[in-house]
Chains A and B, each alone.
Chain A
Amino acid sequence: MDPGGAGAGVVDVLAAEGVAADLGRRRFRGGGSTVRFAATKIGGGLTSLVMVVVLGFFLFRAMPGNPVRALTRDRPGDLAQVERLKREWSLEDSLPAQFVDYVADLLHGDLGTSFKYRQPVTELIMGRLPATLLLTGTALVLAVALGLWLGTRAAWRHGSRFDQLATATALVLWSVPTFWLGLIVLMVFAVGLDLFPTAHLTSPGGVSGFVPSVLDVAHHLVLPALTLVAVVYAQYLMVMRSSLLEEMNADYLTTARAKGLRDDDVRRKHAVPNALLPTVTIIFLHVGFLVSGAVTVEKVFSWPGLGLLTYEAIQVPDYPLLQGSLIVLAGAVIVTNVLADILYRFIDPRVRAA
């Protein structure tokens, strides 16, 4: 494969913008500071993570709610029990004292014990992570693939009936309330056509055997993934479409055509690589959010994801679980952002130059 394909495309863009000469000069100094650049980005990421830890702690405690009341309701209780719970959860200690305890535990890698589940937060989160990533990951891959493909086609033949139909469909699905769409999908495909189960990651209790359980999970995955793809793919389509449209009249495409390249090759080897950059940015942004799950879809299809776990923790509020989830969710976003920053340096010469 020729890396020159992408490289040539990028240079085409730069030439069009008239900054190639400038870049040429600066490119030589760029490489030397890569380590320092990475260190700065990673340092920035770590600073953000520390701020998330601090902010999360105080934010959740400033939030209304009383865990003791929430977890003793409708049960025989006495004042001794209320006192015991407050002591167990250190709710009567001063905020700074609680914070010091929390940070000390955190430094030992201990996210604490959930008030509600009485289980280590780490276990709860790790238990939900695979199901979360399976759903959001599958949906992201499908949505990106579908969005990029349709977006490219729509832009290349913009104004055509295909363009109009694809764009309109995507926008309608994008605008539809997820919960409503999910329930409709559930009623049509799960109940009406009786093709898929109505809920969960597996059949209740699971099935035995490797292949049957893979099929079982796949069977359960279809509707939630389909719903999630339907709701989100429009953003990839629209970004891909508009950035490709910007390239459509570029001189380098004329040059490429003049060289005698077929239309498909012009699109694939010259236009698309240049138009891909904004889309890659969005994809990276969304990869960070994969961990946070998709609360609404999880709620419709009773998918045991992290989004729901966090959402239900708010209602207590279950401070350790909320803090733990926030660190994991924010951590994922921060890590992918740092990675994206560093990767850009390799993908896009303009970043090296800046």
Chain B
Amino acid sequence: MKRSATLARVRLAGRRQAGGGAGRTARVWWAVAAAAALVVGPGLVPVTALANAPAQAQGSLAQGGLAQGGLAQGGVTMRVSHTQEIDTLNPFTAVFLISTQVGRLMYEYLTVNSAESSSPEPGLAESWTTSADNLTWTFKIRDAKWSDGMPITAKDAAFTYNLIMTNEDAASANGVAVANYQSVTATDDRTLVIKTKAPQASMLSSEVPIVPEHVWSKVTDVKGFQNTETLPAVSSGPFVLTGYQEGQSTTLTANDNFWRGRPKVDTLQFVKYENSDAAVQGLRKGDVDVVAGLTPAQFGAIKDESGITTNEGRNRRFAEITMNPSNPKADGTTFGNGNPVLKDLAVRKALDHAIDVKTIVERVKQGFATPATQLIPPVYPDWHFTPAAGQQRGYDPAKANAMLDAAGYPKGGDGIRLDKAGKPINLRLLGTSDNSQQQQQSEFLKEWFAAIGIGLTPEFKSSNQSNDDQNAGNFDLAFTGWSVGPDPDSMLAQQTCKVVGTELSDSNFCNAEYDRLYAEQLAELDREQRKQVVQKMQSLLYDNVSALILTYDNALEAYRSDRFTGFVRQPADGGVITGQNGYWGYYSATPVTVAAEADDGGSGNNAVLIGGIVAGAAALAAIAVVGITRRRRAGADERE
């Protein structure tokens, strides 16, 4: 009788168990029952919380996580996913792209990059003038307020710059911007004077976050400061940092004092997804509202989904194959072991002619890219280079073969050309093993190079190993690519002689005329004049085939258009929403219906939770009854 009663109760709990009674192992059975409840009912949410010892500990854990994130989040919340880690939110030390994206939203610069074309326009500085010798810049600071209501003055800007100039720790992220500064002073509350050692054309794109002196003068250890110690973190941009959960989420709240006006989104959250597939699922479900960095496959899969709008944005990245032309390093030592044939311009030109970039765009990049000309992508119309009619090179294997014949590289028996020493020309192509696009490209390249009699051996390695090889010069050709900033200076500097063989070099290119032009453009404060020089420099790189520059890759993004709209793109014509050189995309986001959407996800979850609590409690009660009965039985057994 007893036995069947027990069985019935076990059935109540949703699991069929053979046999009855329990003794010393009762605890195990309790755990089993809890596990069974978990497996049986995915809706039995709280069971995990109530039935397991480890889960009990999570109360304090969640509290800990909340310490910084528990601020009231009224109004509309927009969630943006990211996969890159946030290194730190301290604007003096943050270097990762996502961290500087968040930084842009928090701290205004003196000048910002326009949504239209990334050209400089007023930020905290309303206007500026330069002295006749081009060495002194005078900025007029806007009459605006910090998020805590204190006035923003020129002294805050002077404090920020001087901190970077005098404190090595504060120079980690933006030291380069002030390297050429002689002095920075605030002559009054509205006037900031920057004296430079030499003329500096890139001044207005320096992107230094200006911090409030009344907060940061109290920070003693700038290097270790995370900027999450005291929240909200006082700032001047469209949003204020109000919460941070390491490895999970960053919460920003609309800044009522932002000088352009309060953003339309009340709360902006950056949530970290560890893989983009899960982020796409999060978007489909509505856990996140904006997702960037999609693969073509993901982009295609959600393209027609209702409520979601995809955006193929023109971006600021270019993809290339760099060569090791065996130029010596600045100290005169040789750089690595590149194949000497790459010193020959005829060979580099022939390789460029052999590549059918259109096929790469269509077959490998699936149309989400455009053929590239030079370093600076067309999203920067001021600096982008278009070769002249007669200068243009194109896919032309016949011409490549003719060039190699003329340059004295005869074909050997197996169709592979021989170098000057009579050895077959076989080039190594370095790539990273986790990049499938590079692997696809290498298959095409093998064919194309074979057609002009040049052997190609792709070597796919871990990204760390590939970094090491590129740094040591142990490669002939290597896949790489760069994200280009609003001022061309940095990218152009990466092609100069003094950085050959260092962490900074892109192409390991070295040309005296180029270096002269580089200095010239940096000192040329007239934008129109500077454009001419920058064109000349890229023309020189193009004619010398400093690298095999392949494509400008578009950024693939998607957002919940049933919740948000009105995103301003950068560039305005077909640009990106995330990853901008500015805050335009997030600042302009407009809720579709302000009232209805505010707590949609929340109430749904609550329903599940309430259902879960009831079901979980029922299951627990059943388990308890079973457990008690078994204990009693066990006692009876022993008495027997």
Among listed A13-21, A30-38, A41-49, A75-83, interface-contacting one = A75-83
The distance in angstroms between the C-alpha atoms of A323 and B148, with both chains bound, is 41
The distance in angstroms between the C-alpha atoms of A138 and B58, with both chains bound, is 11
The smallest C-beta distance from B316 to any residue of chain A, in angstroms, reads 10
The distance in angstroms between the C-alpha atoms of A148 and B36, with both chains bound, is 13
User: Which residues on A sit within 8 Å (CB–CB) of B512?
Assistant: none
Asked whether any CB of chain B lies closer than 8 Å to the CB of A186, the reply is: yes
The distance in angstroms between the C-alpha atoms of A120 and B88, with both chains bound, is 12
The distance in angstroms between the C-alpha atoms of A213 and B465, with both chains bound, is 43
Given contacts A117-B88, A145-B32, A272-B25, contact A79 B609 (CB under 8 A): no
Asked whether any CB of chain A lies closer than 8 Å to the CB of B130, the reply is: no
Contact indicator B285/A146 (Cβ below 8 Å):
no
Interface residues of B (CB under 8 A from A): 18-25, 28-29, 31-32, 34-36, 38-39, 42-43, 45-46, 48-49, 52-55, 57-59, 61-66, 69-71, 73, 79, 85, 87-88, 90, 93, 95, 97, 168, 171-173, 175-177, 179, 223-224, 226, 243, 245-249, 251, 267, 269, 271-275, 277-279, 281-282, 284-285, 287, 461-465, 467-468, 470-471, 482-483, 485, 489-490, 493, 498-499, 502-504, 604-605, 608-609, 612-613, 637-638
User: Which residues on A sit within 8 Å (CB–CB) of B277?
Assistant: 183
Contact indicator B28/A131 (Cβ below 8 Å):
no
Which residues A267-310 have CB closer than 8 A to chain B? 268-269, 272, 298-304, 308-309
User: Which residues on A sit within 8 Å (CB–CB) of B24?
Assistant: 1, 5, 268-269
Out of B42, B52, B470, name the residue touching A195 (CB < 8 Å).
B42
The distance in angstroms between the C-alpha atoms of A200 and B246, with both chains bound, is 11
User: Which residues on A sit within 8 Å (CB–CB) of B71?
Assistant: 205
Out of B19, B31, B55, B287, name the residue touching A199 (CB < 8 Å).
B287
Contact indicator B278/A301 (Cβ below 8 Å):
yes
Out of A65, A130, A138, A308, name the residue touching B52 (CB < 8 Å).
A138
- Beyond known contacts A118-B90, A134-B54: 20 more, CB 8 A cutoff: A64-B468, A66-B503, A77-B504, A82-B503, A118-B172, A118-B224, A130-B61, A134-B57, A146-B35, A183-B281, A186-B278, A200-B249, A201-B62, A201-B245, A205-B73, A217-B61, A221-B55, A226-B39, A269-B23, A308-B247
For the complex of A and B, 5 pairs with smallest distance between CB atoms: A304-B247, A65-B464, A218-B49, A213-B62, A137-B54
The distance in angstroms between the C-alpha atoms of A74 and B480, with both chains bound, is 11
Contact indicator B62/A202 (Cβ below 8 Å):
yes
The smallest C-beta distance from A213 to any residue of chain B, in angstroms, reads 4
A137's nearest neighbour on chain B, judged by CB, is: B54
Contact indicator B54/A197 (Cβ below 8 Å):
no
21 sample A-B contacts, Cβ–Cβ < 8 Å, listed by A number: A63-B464, A66-B503, A71-B95, A74-B482, A82-B502, A118-B90, A124-B246, A133-B57, A149-B32, A186-B278, A198-B287, A200-B272, A204-B269, A205-B243, A206-B66, A208-B66, A213-B66, A214-B58, A264-B20, A298-B274, A312-B85
Out of B63, B176, B470, B499, name the residue touching A76 (CB < 8 Å).
B176
The distance in angstroms between the C-alpha atoms of A63 and B462, with both chains bound, is 11
B54's nearest neighbour on chain A, judged by CB, is: A137
Which residues A82-141 have CB closer than 8 A to chain B? 82, 84-85, 113, 116-120, 124, 127-128, 130-131, 133-134, 137-138, 141
Contact indicator B35/A142 (Cβ below 8 Å):
yes
Asked whether any CB of chain B lies closer than 8 Å to the CB of A255, the reply is: no
The distance in angstroms between the C-alpha atoms of A116 and B247, with both chains bound, is 13
Out of B87, B176, B251, name the residue touching A77 (CB < 8 Å).
B176
The smallest C-beta distance from A35 to any residue of chain B, in angstroms, reads 30
Contact indicator A113/B69 (Cβ below 8 Å):
no
Contact indicator A300/B275 (Cβ below 8 Å):
yes
Asked whether any CB of chain B lies closer than 8 Å to the CB of A348, the reply is: no
Given contacts A218-B46, A272-B25, contact A194 B285 (CB under 8 A): yes
The distance in angstroms between the C-alpha atoms of A113 and B172, with both chains bound, is 15
The smallest C-beta distance from B166 to any residue of chain A, in angstroms, reads 14
Contact indicator A78/B95 (Cβ below 8 Å):
no
Of the candidates B173, B177, B245, the one having the most CB atoms from chain A within 10 angstroms of its own CB is B245
A69's nearest neighbour on chain B, judged by CB, is: B503
Given contacts A127-B246, A186-B278, A195-B608, contact A216 B251 (CB under 8 A): no
The smallest C-beta distance from A301 to any residue of chain B, in angstroms, reads 7
Contact indicator A69/B467 (Cβ below 8 Å):
yes
The smallest C-beta distance from A315 to any residue of chain B, in angstroms, reads 7
Given contacts A79-B498, A118-B223, contact A193 B70 (CB under 8 A): no
The smallest C-beta distance from A94 to any residue of chain B, in angstroms, reads 19
The distance in angstroms between the C-alpha atoms of A69 and B25, with both chains bound, is 57
The smallest C-beta distance from B510 to any residue of chain A, in angstroms, reads 15
Out of A76, A80, A183, A226, name the residue touching B38 (CB < 8 Å).
A226
A230-253 vs B, CB cutoff 8 Å, 1 = contact: the mask equals 000000000000000000000000
Asked whether any CB of chain B lies closer than 8 Å to the CB of A10, the reply is: no
Contact indicator B503/A68 (Cβ below 8 Å):
yes
Contact indicator B467/A208 (Cβ below 8 Å):
no
User: Which residues on B sit within 8 Å (CB–CB) of A214?
Assistant: 49, 58-59, 62
Contact indicator B284/A199 (Cβ below 8 Å):
no
Out of B88, B609, B638, name the residue touching A119 (CB < 8 Å).
B88
Given contacts A127-B246, A134-B58, A214-B59, contact A219 B609 (CB under 8 A): yes
Contact indicator B284/A191 (Cβ below 8 Å):
yes
Asked whether any CB of chain B lies closer than 8 Å to the CB of A39, the reply is: no
Out of A113, A133, A153, name the residue touching B54 (CB < 8 Å).
A133
User: Which residues on A sit within 8 Å (CB–CB) of B64?
Assistant: 130
Contact indicator B69/A145 (Cβ below 8 Å):
no
Of the candidates A128, A210, A264, A272, the one having the most CB atoms from chain B within 10 angstroms of its own CB is A264
The distance in angstroms between the C-alpha atoms of A198 and B637, with both chains bound, is 48
B173's nearest neighbour on chain A, judged by CB, is: A75
The smallest C-beta distance from B609 to any residue of chain A, in angstroms, reads 6
The distance in angstroms between the C-alpha atoms of A117 and B473, with both chains bound, is 29
A264's nearest neighbour on chain B, judged by CB, is: B19
User: Which residues on B sit within 8 Å (CB–CB) of A148?
Assistant: 28, 32
Contact indicator A299/B274 (Cβ below 8 Å):
yes
Contact indicator B278/A200 (Cβ below 8 Å):
no
B23's nearest neighbour on chain A, judged by CB, is: A268
The distance in angstroms between the C-alpha atoms of A150 and B54, with both chains bound, is 22
Contact indicator B54/A199 (Cβ below 8 Å):
no
The distance in angstroms between the C-alpha atoms of A72 and B483, with both chains bound, is 12
The distance in angstroms between the C-alpha atoms of A208 and B278, with both chains bound, is 26
Contact indicator B248/A81 (Cβ below 8 Å):
no
The distance in angstroms between the C-alpha atoms of A120 and B225, with both chains bound, is 11
B480's nearest neighbour on chain A, judged by CB, is: A73
Asked whether any CB of chain B lies closer than 8 Å to the CB of A331, the reply is: no
The distance in angstroms between the C-alpha atoms of A131 and B273, with both chains bound, is 16
The distance in angstroms between the C-alpha atoms of A202 and B269, with both chains bound, is 13
Given contacts A149-B28, A315-B464, contact A72 B274 (CB under 8 A): no
The smallest C-beta distance from B586 to any residue of chain A, in angstroms, reads 16
A124's nearest neighbour on chain B, judged by CB, is: B246
B316's nearest neighbour on chain A, judged by CB, is: A74
The distance in angstroms between the C-alpha atoms of A158 and B605, with both chains bound, is 43
The smallest C-beta distance from B332 to any residue of chain A, in angstroms, reads 16
User: Which residues on A sit within 8 Å (CB–CB) of B29?
Assistant: 149
The distance in angstroms between the C-alpha atoms of A124 and B226, with both chains bound, is 12
User: Which residues on B sit within 8 Å (CB–CB) of A226?
Assistant: 38-39, 42
A185's nearest neighbour on chain B, judged by CB, is: B42
The distance in angstroms between the C-alpha atoms of A321 and B275, with both chains bound, is 22
The distance in angstroms between the C-alpha atoms of A214 and B243, with both chains bound, is 19
The distance in angstroms between the C-alpha atoms of A148 and B30, with both chains bound, is 13
User: Which residues on B sit within 8 Å (CB–CB) of A347?
Assistant: none
Out of A120, A208, A210, A309, name the residue touching B59 (CB < 8 Å).
A210
Asked whether any CB of chain B lies closer than 8 Å to the CB of A70, the reply is: yes
The distance in angstroms between the C-alpha atoms of A341 and B72, with both chains bound, is 51
User: Which residues on A sit within 8 Å (CB–CB) of B88?
Assistant: 117-119
A316's nearest neighbour on chain B, judged by CB, is: B464
Given contacts A131-B61, A214-B58, A218-B55, contact A79 B499 (CB under 8 A): yes
Contact indicator B49/A72 (Cβ below 8 Å):
no
The distance in angstroms between the C-alpha atoms of A265 and B637, with both chains bound, is 9
Out of B31, B73, B97, name the residue touching A142 (CB < 8 Å).
B31
The smallest C-beta distance from A4 to any residue of chain B, in angstroms, reads 11
The distance in angstroms between the C-alpha atoms of A218 and B85, with both chains bound, is 25
